[in-house]
Amino acid sequence: MICQTCKNCKSYKEENKAHKMSCTINGTFAVHASNAERFQCQDYAESEPYVAPPKDNVMIVLTESGRDIIVRDETIHSLDDMRKRIKSCRMNEYVNFGAMDFRKCDIATFSYLGD
């Protein structure tokens, strides 16, 4: 354990030739003097909590290959939203889902996966 990789330190004290570290995860512990400089981390801030990325909500299956493509589209909230977008264009026009464009005639089927 080294503070340079941990980044959860609270304090560093030197008492009676003993080097004591305080950590939010590992509590308080002592370190030998030859190793103490590796645990002095005043510059580090508390790490940010993990936030999961948004999950994909639209699936398109292509006609020729049968390959399914799953993307995230913020403007789609139901299967009816997908139907309206696909029906609004002609057969050889492109329809956009997420960051991808599909030709209407290349779409075999589609599905709303939910949020």
Question: Per-residue confidence at 7, pLDDT binned at 50, 70, 90?
Answer: low
**pLDDT greater than 60 at residue 36:** yes
- The count of residues in the chain is 115
CA distance 21 to 14: 9
Residue that wins the pLDDT comparison between 54 and 29: 54
Mean pLDDT of 59-66: 93
| Higher-confidence position of 87 and 47 | 87
Residue 84 confidence (pLDDT): 94
36 phi and psi angles, rounded to 5 deg: -65, -35
pLDDT band at 41 (very low <50, low <70, confident <90, very high): low
Q: Is the dihedral of CA 72, 76, 78, 79 positive or negative?
A: negative
